[in-house]
Amino acid sequence: MQDDRSLPWRSGRDRDVGVPASPVFGNSRPLPPPPSALPQPIVPIASPALKAVAARFASADYLTATFDLNENGMVDLYETVVIPQWSRPFGALILSQILTIPRPTAPQVLDVACGPGYPTLEIARYLGQDADVAGIDIWDAAIQRAQRHATEDWMRNVTFMQGDFLHANLPEHHFDLITCNLGYTSFADRGRALALMARLTRPGGWVILTTPLQTAFREFLDLYHAVLMDLQLLTSVDALLALVKGRPTVTTARAALERTGLVVERTDVVQHSLTFADARDFFTSPIIALSFLPGWRALVPEQALRRLVFNELERRLNAQAEAAGRLSFAVPMLCLSARRVSA
């Protein structure tokens, strides 16, 4: 019997509906830019705290380093790097979909996993002063920053709450709109999180969420798969396959929403891309180091062997960067809008 340890998109299995295998999302609609009239957060780029935490990322041993989101300067780094390069392209999809759904009078809005206030504050600006907008996140330092932004901008219709969304005791059937930008995969029990969003939404209300799709960073994952296969680390290959298969596809994300009783009305898939100078720039990027690298490292549990694997990954990535002038990784973005049709 053939040992099939190929990644899902390489064998044609578990492919996203409506998405060609190659090129990935090459015929998608272009990403709608965020409205230029919206004010952007002003971050003290030269602040000592930001410079210190940025230097720590850049100089870190990325195979062992850990980071505390509440340490000094981390929120500044998040607003300087992660939001513009990662969160904002996804959030722009939410904002564009909000413009297409019916707007009730004085809407009640909840932004789940709001971080330091993006896209919560933009949503509030879109909907106007009669909207009552709340953001919730477990990250305490980010919530403090978000509340500061709201106060400085005199946005009295926006409230931020620090806490675990799953245990926040929010009122059921209350919200006209619930948004979740990139927070879906952060929940250990995704189904429970979606079920709660559905319960909190009033009949006729909407849930809009974004997530990167299973094929995000497929260029790196293909290379990682090849290195593990070359070294005959088959246990790690199986762990990589499980990690990839656990990520959302259009089909699985849509089905998860519909299992809650919501009706998916709109599905947008748009390709984003991230570029890096070389392998080290890639692995020490806050986007990668905070969200993806811990899972990738865990695929090779033994420290010395992990270093061997990543040294080879670095070598191959740097060869690609030298040949192409940079490293570029595709990030297919999914935005789903679902409506609650009954109580």
pLDDT truncated to tens, each residue of the chain (343 aa)? 456 788 887 765 444 543 333 322 222 333 344 433 334 444 445 589 899 999 999 999 999 999 999 999 999 999 999 999 999 999 999 999 999 999 899 999 999 999 999 999 999 999 999 999 999 999 999 999 999 999 999 999 999 999 999 999 999 999 999 999 999 999 999 999 999 999 999 999 999 999 999 999 999 999 999 999 999 999 999 999 999 999 999 999 999 999 999 999 999 999 999 999 999 999 999 999 999 999 999 999 999 999 999 999 999 999 999 999 999 999 999 999 999 997 6
Burial of 167 (0-12, 13-18, 19+ CB in 10 A): exposed
Q: What is the enclosing helix (H) or strand (E) of 57?
A: helix 48-59
CATH code of 48-217+249-276+329-339, in short, is 3.40.50.150
Q: How far apart are the first and last CA of the chain?
A: 51
Q: What pTM was estimated for this model as a whole?
A: 0.89
- In angstroms, the CA 216 to CA 248 distance is 10
At residue 19, the pLDDT reads: 39
Output the six-digit token pair for 297. 């490292």
- In angstroms, the CA 259 to CA 270 distance is 24
At residue 4, the pLDDT reads: 75
At residue 46, the pLDDT reads: 58
Nearest residue to 192 via CA among 72, 74, 112: 112
Sign of CA dihedral 277, 281, 286, 289: positive
3-state secondary structure 212-242: ECCCCCHHHHHHHHHHHHHCCCHHHHHHHHH
CA dist 266 to 208, 271, 306, Å? 9, 17, 42
> How does DSSP assign 79-108, residue by residue?
IIIIIIIIIHHHHHHHHHHHTTS---SS-E
